[in-house]
A and B are shown apart, each in its own frame.
Chain A
Amino acid sequence: MAEVQETPLPGVGVRYDFITTEGDRIGVLAHRTGRRELLVYGTDDPDACRDVVRLDPDDTHTLAELLGTSHVSERLNALQQDIEGLTIDWLPVGADSACVGRTLRESALRSETGVSIVAVVRGDETIPAPGGDFALARGDTAVAVGTAEGIKELFRLLQQG
């Protein structure tokens, strides 16, 4: 990844810029207000912007999505900060886990850790709100909500115990 330069602009926000593999300088100006500007620098005058595209928060997300950056995780990160004391995490189910092949009720993960598995991602498919008779398989990813401690404990259980 290219080295991103971060320049604080007093009273305005922060400017990030970097030089692309092909040698163009591009940047993003993050205003304090949450607005973003996409900056494309010129070639004959290296310090001036040849183009400035103003983006409101919605546009920013659309562009990020098109560029393939994970917009979902950004939203969830914000969510994670909003709900105090509550953590959301994606936990892989390891091959050696005792939970593999057993139903959620049998492994009693919730009563052990206090963490709820709110969804399971299996391949391209997402199973929302899996019931008590749902059995975890190797390679699944469990989407879990709970305390940070509980999540850690669940991670351990899904890996080995």
Chain B
Amino acid sequence: MFLGAAAPDAVAPVLIELGVVVLVLAVLARGADRVGISPIPLYLIAGLVAGEGGLDLLRLGEGMVAVGSEVGVVLLLLALGLEYSGDELGASLRSGLPAGLADLVANAVPGVLFGLALGWEIRAAILLGGVTYISSSGVISKVLRDLDRLGNRETPSILSILVLEDLAMAVYLPVVAVLLTGGTFLAGLVSVGAALLAVAVVLFVALRHGPLISRAVLTRTDEALLLGVLGTTLLVAGLASRLQVSAAVGAFLVGIALSGPTQERASRLVSPLRDLFAATFFLFFGLQVDPANLVPVAAVAGALAVVTAATKVATGWWAAARAGIARPGRLRAGTALIARGEFSVVIAGLGVATGIEPELGPVAAAYVLFMAIGGPVLTRLSDTLAARVRPAT
């Protein structure tokens, strides 16, 4: 890691390799923007092509990419926590709970059942349930912006579901992290209890005393704020990981705890860093999956994609109907929610890291490729489709 200390001729190839990697990511991001899709599937494909079983290009910088990908997960979750204020979480919890529960049941259960049907052990099946459950708030908010749908009347229903999925992650991730470490039932129970208690305490403090915490972190210079927030997040993530609670949860809680002006500024400052490291993370996930393993699971992943696209549409349709939205709007809400992306990869990444099920990585990769590309396309089509659905209530 300490490039300055190494001999210059050892440094040069590493820098060149990293430079090429980042440039390739840049080209992919540009291309994705040009055609109006999320760059996430392209990063995954780049990883698949460059990794083991593919061209096996990345050798020297792999260690750095691995560390970068860990930081990527932490920053993704920090940004997720920063996205919503405590008040917004509370309000969504009060008004959107039925829709949130329907979303959880309708979309996590198919994943779990598919996992079990494939003969996986229950923990891997639970991970696959997480992969199919969580919509990509990054992809969806970008699509809503691009299509000028933020002002639409069905949009609050969509956002409320996304907020509740994020909250569900705060519970899901620590539980899964504990399940994956194994150990005795009692030890697991204690760890889960401790993790959930920490989540509850942070949420409570953030809701009640958010401004206090934020004032303590707030400084005048952007530089000091960025370093402060980043340092705190990495430290908390590291400690959480040491306590078997998963680094991601720690980072998420730091994001939640910040509010008000600190939250807005921190979120603006962190986002370029998140983009860099998250790209590294998707690439690294692709690197770990052998493309030869994708082919046999493609049919399974495709079937899972069709089923869970349908369940998301049903969820969105129902949530929008509860909010008094007419049928075209319900269809828009449903199709908008189809996209899965960053957090599905994060969840699958947890399983891949522990190696509990060799098929999990390939299935999740193929699934995310389908959903991150297909979801936005279906959302765009929904306007044409909606024209055929009579706007009756």
Contact = CB atoms under 8 A, between A and B. Distances in A.
A11 B88 contact: yes
Nearest to B87: A8
Interface string A93-123: 0000000000000000000000000000000
A8 B328 CA distance: 22
Nearest to A49: B151
B329 A48 contact: yes
Interface string B64-93: 000000000000000000011000110110
Interface residues of A, number: 20
Contact of B84 (A10, A39, A45): A10
A47 B153 contact: yes
Contacts of B151: 15, 27, 29, 37, 39, 49, 52
Contacts of A29: 150-151
Contacts of A45: 326, 328-329, 386, 391
B141 A11 contact: yes
Nearest to B137: A11
Contact of A10 (B92, B152, B264, B391): B92
Contact of B163 (A7, A10, A15, A32): A10
B340 interface: no
Contacts of B83: 10-11
Contacts of B84: 10-11
B150 A47 contact: no
A48 B152 contact: yes
A108 to B, nearest CB: 43
Interface string B118-158: 00000000000000000001000100000011111111100
A44 B328 CA distance: 10
A46 interface: yes
Contacts of A32: 264
Contacts of A129: none
A33 to B, nearest CB: 8
B312 interface: no
A9 to B, nearest CB: 6
Contact of A37 (B150, B325, B328): B150
Contacts of B92: 10
A64 interface: no
B152 A47 contact: yes
A8 B326 contact: no
Given A11-B141, A37-B150, A48 B159 contact: no
B139 to A, nearest CB: 14
A76 interface: no
Interface in B310-347: 325-326, 328-329, 332
A148 interface: no
A86 interface: no
Contact of B328 (A12, A15, A41, A47): A47
A46 B391 CA distance: 8
Nearest to B96: A10
A8 B157 CA distance: 11
B160 interface: yes
A46 B155 CA distance: 13
A44 B391 CA distance: 7
B264 A8 contact: no
A127 to B, nearest CB: 40
Contacts of B149: 48-49
A53 to B, nearest CB: 10
A10 B85 CA distance: 8
B155 A52 contact: no
Interface in A1-46: 7-12, 15, 27, 29, 32, 37, 39, 41, 44-46
Contacts of A41: 153
Given A39-B151, A45-B391, A47-B325, A10 B386 contact: no
A7 B323 CA distance: 12
Contacts of A15: 150-151, 155-156
B150 A48 contact: no
Max chain A C-beta neighbours (<10 A), residue from B88, B137, B150, B154: B150
A7 B150 CA distance: 12
Max chain B C-beta neighbours (<10 A), residue from A8, A29, A44, A52: A8
Nearest to A48: B152
Interface of B: 83-84, 88-89, 91-92, 137, 141, 148-156, 159-160, 162-163, 264, 325-326, 328-329, 332, 386, 391
Given A9-B156, A41-B153, 8 more contacts: A8-B156, A11-B88, A37-B150, A39-B151, A47-B329, A48-B149, A48-B153, A52-B151
Which 10 pairs show the lowest CB-CB distances between chains A and B?
A: A47-B329, A39-B151, A47-B153, A10-B88, A52-B148, A11-B83, A29-B151, A49-B151, A10-B163, A45-B328
10 contacts: A10-B88, A10-B160, A12-B141, A15-B151, A29-B150, A41-B153, A45-B329, A46-B153, A48-B328, A49-B151
